Homo-oligomer: A and B are copies of this chain.
Amino acid sequence: MADVNVSEMPKASAVRDETRDADTPRNSHVAKFGPDKPLRLDAGVSLAPFQIAYTTFGSLNAERSNAVLVCHALTGDQYVVGAHPVTKKSGWWEILIGPGKPVDTDRYFVICSNVVGGCMGSTGPASTNPETGKPWGLEFPVITIRDMVRAQAMLLDHLGIETLFACVGGSMGGMQVLQWAASYPQRVFAALPIATATRHSAQNIAFHEVGRQAIMADPEWKGGRYHLDGSNPRRGLAVARMGAHITYLSDAALHRKFGRRFQDRENPTFSFDADFEVESYLRHQGISFVERFDANSYLYLTRAMDYFDLAADAGGVLANAFKATPTRFCVVSFTSDWLFPTSESRAIVHALNAASARVSFAEIVTDKGHDAFLLDEPEMAGIVRGFLDGAGKARGLVAKK
């Protein structure tokens, strides 16, 4: 595999990456870090070798000052724009990212990497443990949001990018954005954490724990060693996804989309079939998820979110996590998001104010719940565009078109 040479890379489409096969999008890459470049983990151990899979869109300018790191959420990946190689669906944030879009790939060099612990090419529990030659399974070290960000920083080093123009993400992606600002304040010009929090709440930990228990209760999970014999805890993972999916929506959105309508009939069947449309929808969510996601990765990434607590890392005072930060922030929440409610975003804003940071905040009125950050929310698009435009001027970035 050829390392990506950014200086020879005026357009991402010109990048050569020998690890790509026919199904891999042309702007999909893998950065490999050898035994000499270990990833130091919060758990107290190092991960080496490891690799980070990522995509890029647009061109890095000569000053290397227009890079935007997009951080994905729990079940997201690096396929933020363009067809997903497994699902063939369009990228998860095409609504926001592309030529002329709020995150304008005609102006910015967009990078999106699969988090460490993930299952779309970055090293995770499904990867081979070099010491055993077998999949890591539960011997993979527990990782944190800070570990994900540390790996992303190594990726930027590898790409020769010292400072991000912007770091953008929602949900777990927003946690990474906040961690970037806290860990590497000099490397983030502008930060856009959306629908997120500086710590996972007890209720959210509880929902995650139910999902993990559903996976671990599946006999095909086999203590995490299901890769060894080709089994797969599909049913447990589907149940975990179904439960989580409810938390991504709102009562109002579910009522609007499904209400109490029956599936393809007028009356109840008096059975345990998927009688109601909402049941059929949820089952579909569960079944389609297991086609593209690794159950152990789900355990590791939910755990990383549970452990996330920026204030605890800063001696109990959240504002200290952002002390003297030069980064400018834009914090966004959604009224019907009960997983990461506006109160969590307000706590971020209060801490940033206490740290005398430059911060703007928007609460967007919608009934779409937490998932709103992935959906066509014109107000969100306008805010992202406006914030990046303003930051771009301050950064001296000039539109190419």
Interface residues of A (CB under 8 A from B): 42-44, 138, 141-142, 199-203, 205-207, 209-210, 212-214, 216-219, 235-236, 238-239, 242-243, 246, 249, 251, 254-255, 257-260, 268, 270-272, 274-276, 278-279, 282-283, 286, 299, 303, 306-307, 309, 312, 338
Contact = CB atoms under 8 A, between A and B. Distances in A.
B270 A142 contact: yes
Given A201-B251, A260-B309, A260-B312, 17 more contacts: A44-B270, A138-B272, A142-B271, A142-B272, A199-B260, A202-B254, A202-B255, A202-B259, A203-B255, A206-B279, A207-B246, A212-B272, A213-B235, A214-B214, A214-B239, A217-B238, A251-B338
Contacts of A259: 202
A254 B141 CA distance: 29
Contacts of A43: 270
Q: Give the one of A209, A270, A286 with max B CB within 10 A.
A: A209
Contacts of A206: 242, 246, 254, 278-279, 282
Contact of A270 (B141, B254, B268): B141
A250 to B, nearest CB: 8
A272 B306 CA distance: 11
A296 to B, nearest CB: 10
Contacts of A299: 272
A242 B217 CA distance: 13
Contacts of A205: 260, 276, 278-279
A44 B202 CA distance: 45
B258 A242 contact: no
